[in-house]
Structure 1
Amino acid sequence: MRRNTSIVLLAVGHACVDIYQGAVAALIPFFVAERDYTYAVASGIVLAASLLSSVAQPLFGLLTDRWAMPWLLPVSTLLGGVGIALSGLSGSYGLTLFFVAVSGIGVAAYHPESARVARQASQGSHSAMGWFSLGGNIGFALAPLMVAAAIGHGSLHWTPVLVLPALVGAALCVPVLRMLARPQTGTTKTQTPRSADDVASFVKLSFAVVFRSVVFTGLSTFISLYAQQRMQGSPTAGTVALFLLFLGGAVGSVLGGSLAGRYDRVRVSRWSYLLSVAAVTGVIYTPGPAMFLFVALTSVGLYVPFSLQVTLGQDYLPSRIGTASGITLGLTVSIGGLISPLLGHLADTTTLQTALTPLIAMPALSWLLFRTLPEPAVSATRTVKPAPATARQDA
């Protein structure tokens, strides 16, 4: 019961934080419409959130491997919310980039420590980690709806309203941290030697996550604008497409944790990346409302491996769980944002459809890398019961 309560609260807190990752993409159409930004300039906002986040998350991971910093959860949640809340108040492009970057640092600080805490609370359960990831996906899905509700009928000056989820998320962190701070009777933790690390497999996994990040970030940045183009300029079509792209991730995360209980994580991830190749192709080239079906399939296909990749990374680097979380949840995911300006420049010089076409190759590359990965035999988080008193005396 204690584990379930902690995971539920962590999942809701994760949702509150990832609203701010989704909000960056959801704000792009409003920046384009209200400030006349080009595709390349608008995608620079995504770059600002991703660049600092990509550098900061592994650093925070290294720190959490040395020192437990649970206080980062509420502090980073507030930082992520304040940055987005202030991003629409100034017409200055430089200040907008700065505030979005502040939010990105908050998100960066949150993920490595939250993944470590979730791993501790879940006791190594793939299903529980899937629920934790589900929270983040729900946050992504809610972001375009919250942005549309806050500023859709007004202006960017309404962005301060978006600080509310951060206040809720920070408050939810407190009871979780108190529960986990209480000693658990009957269990002791064993230290994992660094010789157990499979660095080669972790590097391959990291590249697979990078390719997944490129396609997901590219679509999340431009799918709203692309759907509006395909549906005769309807802004509702853009909001629906972005909502489906994020909501499908919620289904994918739970499905991934369930499938991992029946099959190994590597095999499930390979299947999902093959599905993603076909789904991304459908998003870009299928005409009419059928596009929305392929958006949902793409989201599911890209998110089935998401939580599985986090636990795989932790199992490949069992002595450095914080670092593994910072890279799989942070660096590799954020690198996708670095590609967005290139896609924006290509869209400005050609068409948006042409710019999105290379994304079809990304899940195929992830599939190829997963074909070379082994399934770790033992979970990285080892919690063992102490031997009975009689057995200790006999020893």
Structure 2
Amino acid sequence: MRHWMIAHAVDDFYQGLVPASIPFFVLDRGYSYTAAAGLALAATLGSSLPQPLTGVIADRRPMLWLAPAGLALAGIAAGLSGLVPAYAVVWLLLLLSGLGVAAFHPAAGRDARRDAGGSAAAMSLFAAGGSIGFFLAPALVTPALVTLGIGATALFIPPAVLMAFVLSRHQQRRRVAAHAAAAPAGPDRWVAFSLLTSLEVVRSIVFFGMNTFIALFWIGHHGASPSVGGVALTAFLGGGVLGTLLGGRLADRWGEVRVIRIGSAAAIPALALVRFTPNMWIGLVCALVAGVAVNVPFAVLVKLGQDYLPARPGTAAGVTLGLAVTIGGMFAPLLGAIADRWGTATVLGVLCVVPVVAFALSLALPQPRRQQPSGPRSAAAASGGSDRSRG
């Protein structure tokens, strides 16, 4: 699974590159805030809306080249965006970068599930890769652009090309296993998947809300410096990586639904500690804990979604990794309006309550049906079994 973890990290790095580079488009090119918001919109539209359709296509055709090609497009287009002078071309390149992300996620989610062999811990490695990439983007992009200007986005093209090549070679080696993949075990359960998607939207509201406002809360409520506010954001995002990995391991021991319920419930007091702890330094530890709690269900939701739609793992990944996450992010402007009127402390107070909805939805999730693992060994066994049944 290390190929998928690294590939997901590289791919989502370019999702993080866009917001990290937008201030430099404003400074270096003189773009208005409206124009800058348009660039963010281009990347978001490209990466979110096509993912369910891409997932449907990935479920109907093997297309093992789709994930490497999407990764390469995401990186090349984002890297070139800082080199072209015309706004319309920059907008188009960021749209294309988003489309590359949209091509990568469903196909990669489907094929990572194949290699995971039914293990939630293995799928958590794949999911954590995305969190790592998004976490590293501002840390690497900002110093480069501060030193060299917006054209330095081109420095980040090679990782995408290199990883796309490595992933393509990996896919070629796995072609036989993919061809012999086990037949779906049981019918698709759309009602259960709809509940799970709603839960992922709620979780994403909390994640994006904290991602947007935790540093501002530290600055405005605690009177901290911007650098300390950045440490709070780093603690929350770092906890997210740990929570994603922890959730997968716990799910293999305790079951997916139970871990989703535990994580959804734990997020409530964890976020309350961030909001109400008076000491900002102790609050940094609370931010780390909150990041863990909010993200414990993340990888488990991705795998459980594929369990609910065993015949459509690409579609399930496209929704849980793409569409549902983006819909959650669209609530950030509403939280911004609350912050403008009542302050960031009120926003964090609201975010303490939102996980209650997630926990209520988790109580309605049905247990997944026991399925034959889809790893290489079981795939071969399933292929042999189907040959005997045809005989």
Say whether 1:351 aligns with 2:343. Answer: yes
| Unmatched 5+ stretches in structure 2 | none
Output the CA distance in 1 between the equivalents of 2:94 and 2:100: 10
| Amino acid paired to 2:170 | V
- Structure 1 residue aligned with 2:103: 109
Q: Does the CA contact (< 8 Å) of 1:52 and 1:104 recur in 2?
A: yes
Give the drift of 1:122: 1.6
- Structure 2 residue aligned with 1:246: 237
- Structure 2 residue aligned with 1:168: 162
Output the CA distance in 1 between the equivalents of 2:215 and 2:18: 12
| Unmatched 5+ stretches in structure 1 | 1-6
Output the CA distance in 1 between the equivalents of 2:212 and 2:109: 25
Give the drift of 1:31: 6.4
Give the drift of 1:148: 2.8
Give the drift of 1:233: 6.6
| Aligned with 1:208 (options 181, 190, 199) | 199
| Amino acid paired to 1:148 | T
- Structure 2 residue aligned with 1:124: 118
Give the drift of 1:319: 1.4
Give the drift of 1:315: 0.8
* Other structure's SS at 1:205 match: helix
Give the drift of 1:130: 1.4
Deviations 1:64-85 (A, max 9, x none): 0111122122221122223433
Counterparts of 1:70-81 in structure 2, within 5 Å, are 70-81=64-75
- Structure 2 residue aligned with 1:318: 310
Output the CA distance in 2 between the equivalents of 1:388 and 1:83: 44
Q: Does the CA contact (< 8 Å) of 1:129 and 1:257 recur in 2?
A: yes
* Other structure's SS at 1:197 match: coil
| Aligned with 1:264 (options 234, 248, 255) | 255
Question: Which shows bigger deviation, 195-204 or 157-166?
Answer: 157-166
**TM-score between the two structures when normalised by the length of structure 1:** 0.84
**TM-score between the two structures when normalised by the length of structure 2:** 0.85
- Structure 1 residue aligned with 2:4: 10
Output the CA distance in 1 between the equivalents of 2:169 and 2:101: 20
Distance 1:163 1:240, change over 3 A: farther
Output the CA distance in 2 between the equivalents of 1:348 and 1:94: 31
The alignment yields a C-alpha RMSD, in angstroms, of: 3.3
* Other structure's SS at 2:331 match: helix
Number of corresponding residues: 383
Distance 1:216 1:28, change over 3 A: farther
Say whether 1:191 aligns with 2:183. Answer: yes
| Amino acid paired to 1:55 | L
Give the drift of 1:366: 1.1
- Structure 2 residue aligned with 1:329: 321
- Structure 2 residue aligned with 1:280: 271
Q: Does the CA contact (< 8 Å) of 2:119 and 2:252 recur in 1?
A: no
- Structure 2 residue aligned with 1:4: none
Q: Does the CA contact (< 8 Å) of 1:14 and 1:135 recur in 2?
A: yes
